[in-house]
Amino acid sequence: MLHSTWRGLFRRTALAAALGALATGLGVVAPVASSAAAAGTLQQVTNFGSNPGNLAMYEYAPSGLAAGAPLVVALHGCTQSASDYHAHSGWQKFADQWGFAVVYPQTGSANNSLSCFSWFDSAKDTRGKGEAASIKQMVDTAVAQYGSDRGRVFVSGLSAGGGMTADLLADYPDVFAGGAVDSGLPAQCATTQTAASGCQYSGQNLTPKQWGDKVRNSYPGYAGPWPRVAIWQGSSDTTVAPVNGTELRDQWTDVWGIGQTASSTRSLTGGTTESIYDDTTGKAAVALFSVSGMAHGLAVNPGSGADQCGSTGTYYLNYICSSYHTAKFWGLDGGGGTGSLPAPSGLTVTGTTSTGASLSWNAVSGATTYNVYRGGSKVGSATGTTYTDSGLSAGTSYSYTVAAVDSSGAVGASSGAVTATTTGSAPACYTANNYQQVQAGRAHQSGGYTYANGSAQNMGLYNVAVTHTLKETSPGYFVIADSGC
């Protein structure tokens, strides 16, 4: 997608060549023959599986990323690259601030003349096949590498990447806890290249149930839980017609078994209207963000404000930081609430011991309590502006955020993250290939895969080609510590 006359993408070879050259000029990161990316940099991972979709895997993780953190998969649009999307989308800011890793799948001209993900090809976008299967392998690799929380894996994508995102949510609802479709298409809207333009430019006249059936039929027999889905759509998009946002809303509300009438609406910056559709427990299941006047692209909002991110460029449009609102919708800020209280300022580590860390922050007017989050998970609450976390491992780094809670129990925005490193000797770490880890008694193998002893984290295939660092946090208990020990 990402072209106003996309209908002719695949038959206009001259245009394809020109845009292919543009994609080449977007600055793809050089490959690194490694199973792990260096913390704080975007690097390629070359041995993530059989890769039936012929994709490239890039990833980013902040320094000191704690085990049990979330994982986000971010898919670029046509003519773009992983490095281009990483540079413009704003995901790095929130990965650093809130503590999570990001995987950037990348397709290329060998798969599609305009480097589009194949959201319209049933041989490539269905469970266990092609590009969808390659992305699933990337998730498994990153989860094993970083010790990510499998219950907090999310996927987002722009345009053709948005169409593939919707397909992935339908294909792998057991893998992804949530998704965000930016200027994209409903899941399985088209199953052939010929049908793709019809989905882009016009409504398909399907009922919500018919849309929902496309999701349910993607993984027959699956009964939930379903991913929580954010939908971003510009009202002036002529490449992916605005009706696609409505159809996505219909599709995912039907999957959740809820109506198409919004539970709440509010106005956001950049001419954006947010419509929330709650599940039966009152928690937001689907969110539709309609951006007035926005053409085709990803909504960004450069600046240093807490709710600003990204940089403008081709198909990166200055309206609102979609990545910020998507991350909060998923709860990646550690709060996951909808309260109006601002983020506490001045969060500081005031002291550490071998088993604990003490924190303090500035008071927020209207707060009755404060939630404290370690690695994105709530670990306690405080009525004042101090808190001491305990039961930690010696010589280990932990990431903390704090959010204010009002008298109704609504959780406000989360603070920026701080890192506390406990005193004492760090746990012993061992770097070796999977075969050697098993032979040394730090891991075991089952069904051709290797698992860390104690934590049972999946380390990938049982062979000498995959290398990991294992950290022994207590006698006989090992966790993957590739991002730092």
Q: Which residues are catalytic?
A: 159
* C-beta separation of 400 from 418 below 8 A: yes
For residues 199, 215, 334, 482, the Cα torsion angle rounded to the nearest 10 degrees is: -100
How far apart are the two ends of the chain, measured CA to CA in Å?
42
Q: 3-state DSSP call for residue 202? A: coil
DSSP structural state of residue 192? S
Pairwise CA distance, residues 371 & 349, whole Å: 16
Q: Which two tokens stand for residue 243?
A: 């009706």
Locate 210 and state its tokens. Answer: 């018919």
Measured distance CA(293)–CA(262) in Å, rounded: 22
Distance CA 94, CA 279 (A): 26
Tokens read off for 417: 């993250």
Q: How far apart are CA 36 and CA 136, in angstroms?
A: 17
Quote the tokens at residue 377.
């998970």
Contacts (Cβ under 8 Å, ≥6 apart) of 6: 78, 197, 200, 239
Residue with tokens 């994105």: 376
**What CA–CA distance (Å, rounded) separates 79 from 113?**
9
Q: At what angle are helices 243-256 and 208-216 packed, to 10 degrees?
A: 70
For 219, residues 6+ apart whose C-beta sits below 8 A from its C-beta are 127, 170, 171, 172, 173, 174
Contact 247, 189 (CB under 8 A): yes
Q: How far apart are CA 251 and CA 243, in angstroms?
A: 12
Amino acid identity of residue 333, one-letter, is: D
Taking alpha carbons only, the member of 121, 115, 130 closest to residue 192 is: 121
Cα–Cα distance, 296 to 316 (Å, whole number): 9
CA–CA dist 303, 57 (Å, integer)? 29
Question: Beta-carbon neighbour count of residue 448 at 10 Å?
Answer: 9
In terms of phi and psi (left: phi > 0; alpha: psi -120 to 50; beta: otherwise), the region of 96 is alpha
